Structure 1
């Protein structure tokens, strides 16, 4: 027997050895590992009764919940491929994804009935809570159904997660059981921190994205207990971290910023059992890190990855954060070093590895790299070359192996023949006390081809003029990198994982700056 070849092996093991221990709890349902295993098997049997077999796609259009997680685990149990649908998309966008994935069955929350387009209305549907137009999960499970055992290997696809479509149409990323299990071993090996039996994790990030889903699966794999929040609530997160004795949580830095702002009496809360806050999607400022350490008194770990890499390619560990605060603040601009069992290189346009310190594309190789894009061999061949994932991120590496992301390759600005990476400028801008958030894009210029435009969020502070901003940047940035123009908006558009949607900003600025690149 090939041990740990699939996710269900772990769930079954914990159900048999620590069945009384809580697996997951939300504001509606709490299940022990034994109860969850029974629930998972029942759902799996009923999915099979709908004619769904190994390799068939099952969509989940729902917010975080115990049932949502169990439906995913039920698909894993019988080799069906779960496709989490982003409920923040429009009905036509969801219909495209469902049609592309050839989904055969839909599980959904009733509030998203309005998001069912032509394709989703043609297939079978089970409502997780209540809906007059579809059977309710609890009633659906009352009909007798027998589970047929299915052999699942590490190479079998566990889930199909769609890219955010920041460039072109969304692509279905194929992640196998083996990919998830490998990444779940790489994470604690690389950080020195992992779930222990009985520890409690807080799941806030939506499970239609890798951070939320794989984060929850890590808890299942290691026999932890998960408190599941349906949505992110700044105050609710703080209260749950304290009252539910949470050990670890995964967030994006802006969530920490909001929570600190919304809970002025945060020092009244007891976070003594919170040992780690994991964050990603963007770096954390030294100021915010110090505020968070003062408030929570725990370690911080930053993860860098993408959907095509299951979850993590590198980590900036808790020890790295301590080094940063002890005299090496530049480390906070790094996304850390490659995870255990993986390699990261920086290459030029010709694919040849660049010398240390030079900026190029970040590529990575390891057992967590996707199996490819669904029904898209051309995109797969362009993205994974000789086993190396081409991330599309521009970065550099120092002599210690720390990787510094400069930007997306496609977001690079070319001004007067010089390459400008917006992230470098953005990191400086957000250090100004009158700037809450910042994004930099290239706009056309007759003389230089492109020049940097700073799109800022003031957060109620007095707005800086272009001249004031230029003065702030002078001496800290090369002259050609300093933004020549400034625009203010209420908030930067972001996707659910916190990444700024620069394509949306370009659309917003297109009328004022024609032919924005």
Structure 2
């Protein structure tokens, strides 16, 4: 079944239901949404010779065109290749070439003027004459093209923090099962809900579009085309029953803004957070201000949004004897996957850390044109995530760190997340990230990069005293580096590779 079949079914059942908004302005009903997808599909095929299985790359900020283009590509059986819009044009061009995309759609049509696109690939800008001409080729097929469940629908490129990004092949079946898992394990969707795309549509926020297309919910693209806490507040108040995906750093910014404005989450139904560490002090503060509106998920591009979930009642619970540990976890395995903790193939008992392994219907088909990396990642049917964690006797998974971020000092394992949690509780700390630095004496030293609050006491001496009182001496940072901000990618993840580079560069 084609993912676009869901749009087709909803448009037939609820043609007049509001589908897409740009800010508070109604952009399209479901009938108009489906008609536009058909029209674009016909134009893409006629003007550019695209056919089933062809890849179309998208390099743009969030706006209604994004979701229309997704469904147009699927309508004729193509593959979407969304690209992080904050990448350099050369990086975007590399993804275009690697994916073998025949067409690149961008905001301004200038990727090809700043980088060399592969021969045969055409770039068009949304709003350009070439883009508008796509509407002149008829209405297109009445129903979406037939595809196999194992056909690739979405070619997702990893962030590439350890080298060139890899193209994750996500099939129509992968995405359908991930969508069903949302309804079982994350939140109960409804047509009265409005999903707000403040996080990049190219990643997690976009993956959550399917469930709202299926139930006939509203899709809201902020007029700013990005993340603005004040805009989110206004849109949530306007639409009500608002659902959004946010990285923990985005949640933190929302809470900081709410403390200044007095906003208490009115109009927000659910904030689904994931994609990075949510420190205990931050989720405690978020719950105190907004109440039980939070759900945590843990996933990877290789099994999108679907490893574990911590439902709202568990995030908010403060009555269970182990509520603190559960709130610090990422929840229990979703219904669509199996979970194992193992080291060198040996499964670890409850409570012991090891690599997180996942098996299930949402695990990727493999890496695009990279059999070696696929064979390394998927062994005996299990996806090796590269994350370290432990599972308690009740099945709650607690993330420790990425395997590559583990610090080994004096022969002892130190998990940066543990040190970050302690520093995040300091009243003068706004943000923190901990890495290991080479040490001739110890192998590695613990180094903390800290962003202080404007009105907080956050010098190295104060932080050293805090850590001395809160953790074992061997875990304490050897250095505290105060900085104005932490380097992040467009999804809010702290780039520890950049922090390591800063240490090398001095």
Normalised to the residue count of structure 2, the TM-score between the two structures is 0.93
Does residue 390 in structure 1 map to residue 387 in structure 2?
A: no
CA distance in structure 1 between the aligned counterparts of 2:413 and 2:167, rounded to whole angstroms: 32
- Alpha-carbon shift at residue 61 of structure 1 (Å): 1.1
Residue of structure 1 equivalent to 2:13? 17
Q: List alignment gaps of at least 5 residues for structure 2.
A: none
C-alpha spacing 1:111/1:151, structure 2 compared with 1 (3 Å): closer
Q: Where does residue 43 of structure 1 map in the other structure?
A: 40
User: Is 2:18–2:28's contact at 8 Å kept on the other side of the alignment?
Assistant: yes
1:233 aligns with 2:231: no
Is the 2:287–2:316 contact (alpha carbons within 8 Å) kept by the matching residues of 1? no
For 1:377 and 1:114, locate their aligned partners in 2 and report how far apart those are by CA, in whole Å. Answer: 29
| Aligned residue in 2 for 1:478 | 472
After superposition, the Cα gap between the structure-2 partners of 1:31 and 1:98, relative to the gap in structure 1 and judged at 3 Å, is same
Q: Map 1:254-265 onto structure 2 (within 5 A).
A: 254-264=249-259
The Cα of 1:207 is off from its aligned counterpart by 1.4
Tell me the C-alpha RMSD between the 2 structures: 2.2
Q: Measure the CA separation in 2 of the matches of 1:218 and 1:120.
A: 35
Conserved? CA contact 1:29–1:66, under 8 Å: no
In structure 2, relative to structure 1, the CA distance for the partners of 1:264 and 1:125 (3 Å cut) is same
Query: Which residue in the other structure is 1:336 paired with?
Result: 331
**Alignment of 1:208 onto 2:197:** no
CA shift for structure 1 position 139: 3.3
- Residue among 397, 414, 436 paired with 1:420: 414
Are 1:94 and 1:115, in contact at CA under 8 Å, matched by a contact in 2?
A: no
SS of residue paired to 2:237 = helix
**Conservation of the 8 A alpha-carbon contact between 2:109 and 2:125:** no
How far did residue 323 of structure 1 move? 2.2
The aligned length equals 500
* 1:157–1:475 CA distance, 2 compared to 1 (3 A): same
Moved more, 405-414 or 145-154: 145-154
Given that residues 59 and 105 in structure 1 are in contact (C-alpha distance below 8 angstroms), is that contact kept between their aligned partners in structure 2? yes
How big is each residue's C-alpha offset from its partner over 1:211-239, in whole Å with a ceiling of 9 and x where there is no partner? 12112222112321111121111210111
Question: Which has the larger displacement, 474-483 or 174-183?
Answer: 474-483
The equivalent of 1:289 in structure 2 is 283
Does the 8 A contact of 1:55 with 1:80 survive in 2?
A: yes
After TM superposition, the structure 1 stretch with the greater mean CA deviation from structure 2, 153-162 or 317-326, is: 317-326
Q: Of the candidates 171, 178, 184, which is equivalent to residue 179 of structure 2?
A: 184
SS for the counterpart of 1:48 is helix
Query: Is the Cα contact below 8 Å between 1:21 and 1:198 reproduced in 2?
Result: no
2:27 to 26, 30, 34: 30
Instruction: Choose which of 325, 345, 349 in structure 1 pairs with 2:340.
Output: 345
Tell me whether 143-152 or 407-416 shows the greater mean CA deviation: 143-152
The whole-number CA distance in structure 1 between the counterparts of 2:91 and 2:319 is: 44
Change (3 A) 1:145 1:200: closer
Taking the aligned partners of 1:67 and 1:120, their CA distance within structure 2 comes to 24
Q: Secondary structure at the match of 2:208?
A: helix
Query: 2:213 pairs with 220, 223, 244, which one?
Result: 220
Q: Does 1:499 align with 2:493?
A: yes
Give the Å deviation of 1:126: 2.7
SS at match of 2:433: strand
CA deviation profile, 1:321-358 (whole Å, cap 9, x unmatched): 1224766222222111100131111111x111111111
Please point out which of 354, 360, 368 is paired with 2:354. 360
Q: Residue 336 and residue 109 in structure 1: after superposition, are their counterparts in 2 closer, same or farther (change >3 A)?
A: same
Residue in 1 aligned with 2:448?
A: 454
Q: Give the structure-1-normalised TM-score.
A: 0.91
Work out whether 1:312 is the aligned partner of 2:309.
no
State the 1:111 CA deviation. Answer: 7.3
Unaligned runs of 5+ in 1: 513-517
CA distance in 2, matches of 1:300, 1:322: 8
* 1:470 CA displacement: 3.1
Match of 2:74 in 1: 76
- CA 1:145–1:37 in 2, change beyond 3 Å: closer, same or farther? closer
Counterpart Cα distance in 1 of 2:119 and 2:289 = 48
Q: Distance in 1 between the 2:119 and 2:58 partners?
A: 14
